[in-house]
Amino acid sequence: MDIDRSIMALEAAGVAPSLQAKWRALLADLASLESAVVAYSGGVDSGFLAYAASRVLGDRAVAVTVASPIDPLDTQQAAADFAERHGIVHRVIAHDPLREPDIRANRPDRCYHCKTSILALLWAYAREHGIAVVIEGQNADDQADYRPGRRAVEETGTLSPLVRSNLAKAEIRQLARALDLSIWDQPSSPCLATRIPYGIELTQARLVQVGQAEDYLHARGFRIVRVRHHGDVARIELPPEQIAALLEVRDEVVQQLKQIGFKHIALDLQGYRMGSMNEGVIA
């Protein structure tokens, strides 16, 4: 879909003129770049950004996925599938952040060290391949949560076009749906390290436990779910309206999560909320 056709698609879908203007602004911002590496995790924001960049820059936009053991198990394949479907140039770099003490220690600034590490790899790739800039997918809503990774973005000179276009998450989903992008309703899925309380060391074993537990719950039909790792305790977060459905399969869930290695299975009655591990952390 070229740029003019994308505008026609937005008009046909009834997208408000103000949001169409943000789409045009994003495309104009990206078109001003000589070339770009897109930090591409396969999520809604980075996928939408990679799609937009490829529309205006063609093969001068390269979506690069940094694959690591702290990513949810199904994200890499989903990222590759989306890139192939939309003709996005896609590359993968393997990386193990658990080798870095500042990340493994899992302090409240973990995201800063992790983001710095990832962006260093992306900038090295850009320099090696003669690409002008690195861009990443933070959106306007991300400015409100505790996100120490923002400092890494600023320090490395990485650009955040979705923020610069003032696009919020709901707007990105609306645009993606109008553009017929399959990711429009994809649940957010941040790295598995966000399931482990600050101060508890990140280990491969803990990350595998969380990943296996969430994969199981996804297979049972719970699309939005977090399994927070509290030692022997798995604390399950679901949207409140899905709690009753989980209780209907309680015995099976308890049995499966105990097989994974948890001794106690708890259900958070407050329900899923983004950034629950940041509660009480002062930005």
Query: Which of 146, 153, 147, 67 minimizes the C-alpha distance to 116?
Result: 153
For the cut 80, the answer to whether the pLDDT of residue 233 exceeds it is yes
pLDDT at 76: 85
- Which domains, from first to last, does the chain contain? 3-185 (3.40.50.620), 192-278 (3.30.70)
Q: Work out the average pLDDT over 134-146.
A: 83
pLDDT at 165: 96
pLDDT band at 257 (very low <50, low <70, confident <90, very high): very high
For the cut 90, the answer to whether the pLDDT of residue 146 exceeds it is no
Q: Work out the average pLDDT over 23-32.
A: 97
Question: How far apart (Å, rounded) are the C-alpha atoms in residues 85 and 268?
Answer: 38
pLDDT band at 49 (very low <50, low <70, confident <90, very high): very high
Lowest mean pLDDT among 92-96, 147-151, 163-167, 177-181: 147-151
How far, in Å, are 7, 204, 227, 234, 251 from residue 258 at the CA level?
51, 18, 13, 9, 11
pLDDT band at 172 (very low <50, low <70, confident <90, very high): very high
Mean pLDDT of the chain: 93
pLDDT at 275: 62
Query: Which of 190, 244, 268, 253 minimizes the C-alpha distance to 216?
Result: 253
Q: Cβ of 213: how many Cβ atoms within 10 Å?
A: 26
Q: Work out the average pLDDT over 37-61.
A: 97
> SS3 for the chain, per residue?
CCHHHHHHHHHHCCCCHHHHHHHHHHHHHHHCCCCEEEECCCCHHHHHHHHHHHHHHHHHEEEEEEECCCCCCCHHHHHHHHHHHCCCEEEEEECCHHHCHHHHCCCCCHHHHHHHHHHHHHHHHHHHCCCCEEECCCCHHHHCCCCCHHHHHHHHCCECHHHHCCCCHHHHHHHHHHCCCHHHHCCCCCCHHHHCCCCCCCCHHHHHHHHHHHHHHHHCCCCCCEEEEECCEEEEECCHHHHHHHHHCHHHHHHHHHHHCCCEEEECCCCCCCCHHHCCCCC
Query: Which of 139, 142, 135 minimizes the C-alpha distance to 167?
Result: 139
Q: Please measure the distance between the N-terminal and C-terminal CA atoms of the chain and give it in whole angstroms.
A: 41
Question: How far apart (Å, rounded) are the C-alpha atoms in residues 132 and 200?
Answer: 38
Question: How far apart (Å, rounded) are the C-alpha atoms in residues 193 and 270?
Answer: 21
For the cut 80, the answer to whether the pLDDT of residue 152 exceeds it is yes
Yes or no: say if 91 and 63 are a contact pair by the CB < 8 Å rule: yes
Side-chain half-sphere exposure of 208, counting CA atoms within 13 A: 6
For the cut 90, the answer to whether the pLDDT of residue 226 exceeds it is yes
pLDDT at 283: 44
pLDDT band at 148 (very low <50, low <70, confident <90, very high): confident
Q: Work out the average pLDDT over 37-48.
A: 96
Side-chain half-sphere exposure of 46, counting CA atoms within 13 A: 26
Q: Work out the average pLDDT over 93-110.
A: 96
